[in-house]
Structure 1
């Protein structure tokens, strides 16, 4: 069939319209992001995420949170996006304490960076190994946080009860102040290494990192496969001249399985395209790449995120 100029023009316009519709990306109007406590790495990262989404016309706000409660809130549909650890969704899916029932509707959007188990103590605290915390005062996070969950697991692995040491609980800034004013011998935290507030602590106080021995690392991994043996490299903090053995788990961004596919696609795409802003937001993210962001673990990827990373050629 020979097409007249007018019919050819109509055909071209239709083709262009179809192509435009296929490439157009919808975006959520608003996003609520659950981050971390003040002074921690997630607090800074979640704030940066609000700016990233705002640059794409999406109103976003960051709220305080922690690894365990963030997953509960996402699972209950009370927030849109959250930061957590790869060790948390498997526990949620099994209904392991503190999750009251199995919660299997958590989906991954992107992976960020490892967070390390860190016991930072005063040089003269008499604490040279984790076994030495018996009888000492340790500042940790609130009950329900990933930090306290891991520390409770650690105490159990060491054969210690809460009565065997003095515990104080608060946010990261509270813990740091407790070490500075010597109301605590040390602090325990699960977060990125280095974290800015700890850099300051090391530069202005006589403190050190306590290594995790192989036996303790093995027990923690057996209790939750999301915890793996790792190393905090020498020079991470001032005065840390040698590698320090630790245990770590990956930080990840999660959403509810019921999130529309296009919204999840938009979130994944936007974060990857603004990776430079993420890297600049916190020194722990300096080495992330689009490929590592798509290296999913801990939770099944949301179909929208999986589609983006696949289309972008970042995963097979």
Structure 2
């Protein structure tokens, strides 16, 4: 009887060892199904994240088999909640909106304490102030300040509320002492809508002004500029402190030649795209994801030129990640390559 019990104990012990070994294998290699919340399919973030998914799936040398589903939502504001709640494993954000989410400020009424930086500074965006040149000339406008000072009626087309583009609109008006209510008080109008409607409104002469998240070679603005005479307006230096105080960058300029007839630089605040993950993500997976992005810049840039902005040597910098904590797995990788500040 004792011998029988001993055999049972030996078998049980071996089974436990096998289960433990299997558990280790799930961390050190194995197959994983992950999801990445990005933005609409027309955006650069969606396109180069789809390229990342292909790289991960076709990496025959990797010990990890990762199937990354790319989700066309919820943008650089809503993705914080998806990652915080575990509805997405990776989320596209922006350096300043990551900070807002982590601290529960500006666009957020609550904190998202479990988000962590994975990759910072993948491509640069700007606060784009797009105006009809005819509207500016007709009203002798050289600055948004002129609209505020002279209470000029303006037909403002904005992206949907809750998007970063719409927050850029609201914040820019605030910097110049204006609000949506004031636009209407001046006799103007505001329409919250999609990019295709905004494009048509400019081409039909119905839109006077659009404030947005502007990337180099932005598809919608490129198409508008080929059909309509538009002007990219400066945000003067005296207003930049308003934006830098809430996490935007200053000092870089939107380059000339990005759009039709745009032969001038534009002085506007900028910000960077980031990837965030949840603090619960396994360290080795976070390490592998950070490593894969940093070592495949050229392949991702082939899918969308926006990734040419990416500087892998700065991917772990605090400012590039919105000054939120890095995921420990990503931080380990950046320390190895000297990409932390």
* TM-score relative to the length of structure 1: 0.84
1:28 Cα deviation from its structure 2 partner: 5.7
1:197 maps to: 220
**Which moved further from structure 2: 250-259 or 271-280?**
271-280
| CA-to-aligned-CA distance 1:182-235 (integer Å, 9 cap, x gap) | 33213221132232332233233211201111122222223x033434311122
Compared with structure 1, are the counterparts of its residues 230 and 167 closer, same or farther at alpha carbon in structure 2 (3 Å cutoff)? Answer: farther
Secondary structure in structure 1 of the residue aligned to 2:173:
helix
2:272 aligned with 1:250: yes
| CA-to-aligned-CA distance 1:151-209 (integer Å, 9 cap, x gap) | 21221222212123322223433332332233321322113223233223323321120
Secondary structure in structure 2 of the residue aligned to 1:31:
strand
**Structure 2 CA distance, aligned partners of 1:154 and 1:86?**
18
**Structure 2 CA distance, aligned partners of 1:28 and 1:268?**
17
**Structure 1 CA distance, aligned partners of 2:227 and 2:48?**
25
Secondary structure in structure 2 of the residue aligned to 1:231:
coil
1:125 maps to: 135
Given that 1:37 and 1:172 are in contact with CA atoms closer than 8 Å, whether structure 2 keeps it comes out as no
**Number of equivalences:** 294
Secondary structure in structure 2 of the residue aligned to 1:308:
helix
1:248 Cα deviation from its structure 2 partner: 0.7
1:86 Cα deviation from its structure 2 partner: 0.6
**Structure 2 CA distance, aligned partners of 1:121 and 1:27?**
52
1:38 Cα deviation from its structure 2 partner: 4.2
Q: Which runs of no fewer than 5 residues in structure 1 stay unpaired? A: 1-20
Q: Which runs of no fewer than 5 residues in structure 2 stay unpaired? A: 1-23, 60-64, 184-188
Given that 1:34 and 1:46 are in contact with CA atoms closer than 8 Å, whether structure 2 keeps it comes out as no
**Aligned partner of 1:93 among 102, 114, 138:** 102
1:139 maps to: 157
1:64-75 equivalences in 2 (<5 Å): 64-75=73-84
1:65 Cα deviation from its structure 2 partner: 1.8
2:62 maps to: none
**Which moved further from structure 2: 69-78 or 281-290?**
281-290
1:282 maps to: 304
1:67 Cα deviation from its structure 2 partner: 0.8
**Structure 1 CA distance, aligned partners of 2:31 and 2:338?**
24
Compared with structure 1, are the counterparts of its residues 42 and 174 closer, same or farther at alpha carbon in structure 2 (3 Å cutoff)? Answer: farther
2:285 maps to: 263
1:1-316 equivalences in 2 (<5 Å): 26=29, 29-56=32-59, 57-63=65-71, 64-111=73-120, 112-126=122-136, 127-132=141-146, 134-165=152-183, 166-222=189-245, 224-297=246-319, 298=322, 299-315=324-340
**Structure 1 CA distance, aligned partners of 2:158 and 2:239?**
19
RMSD between superposed Cα atoms in Å: 2.4
**Which moved further from structure 2: 254-263 or 139-148?**
139-148
Structure whose residues are more often helix by fraction = 2
**Structure 1 CA distance, aligned partners of 2:263 and 2:176?**
27
Give the greater-gyration-radius structure (CA): 2
Given that 1:27 and 1:262 are in contact with CA atoms closer than 8 Å, whether structure 2 keeps it comes out as no
1:122 Cα deviation from its structure 2 partner: 1.8
Given that 2:203 and 2:227 are in contact with CA atoms closer than 8 Å, whether structure 1 keeps it comes out as no
**Structure 2 CA distance, aligned partners of 1:181 and 1:171?**
16
